[in-house]
Structure 1
Amino acid sequence: MTKKKSFPLRINEDVFLAMQRWSDDELRSLNAQIEFVLRKALVDSGRVKLTQKVVTELVDDVEKKS
């Protein structure tokens, strides 16, 4: 199981409220929604590889160049 890290986040109030509404719509906690959005952005940018539905794995620099 992956260990979770705590991280203080300063965020614009409008962004916070929009994320809160989105998380409510998706029946997730705000924390889970932020993690979901961050993970999707990392996968979409090729910075991590999706290895399961939720778990991500760092992509090696060598692998990115292939």
Structure 2
Amino acid sequence: MARVDEQKINYIIAALEKLQYGSLNITIHNGEITQVDCNEKHRFTLPDKQLSRRKDGASLITSHG
């Protein structure tokens, strides 16, 4: 197992601390960290009046306009 550079560890820790919802993907090549991808998710809630229910229970967004 290769020794991991402290700078890379600190970068990964900082990315994890900032992430509320999403994923952190660490790419390894020949035993070395070569890339870190951070995908953050932002979800927006719709007011109840914009949602309607189908018979199967799935939500549909209805258009008002």
- Note whether the superposition's TM-score is higher than 0.5: no
Which is higher, the Rg of structure 1 or of structure 2? 2
Higher relative contact order (CA 8 A, sep 6+): 2
Q: Which is strand-richer, 1 or 2?
A: 2
Higher helix fraction (1 or 2): 1
> Which TM-score tier does this pair reach, normalised by the shorter chain?
0.3 to 0.5
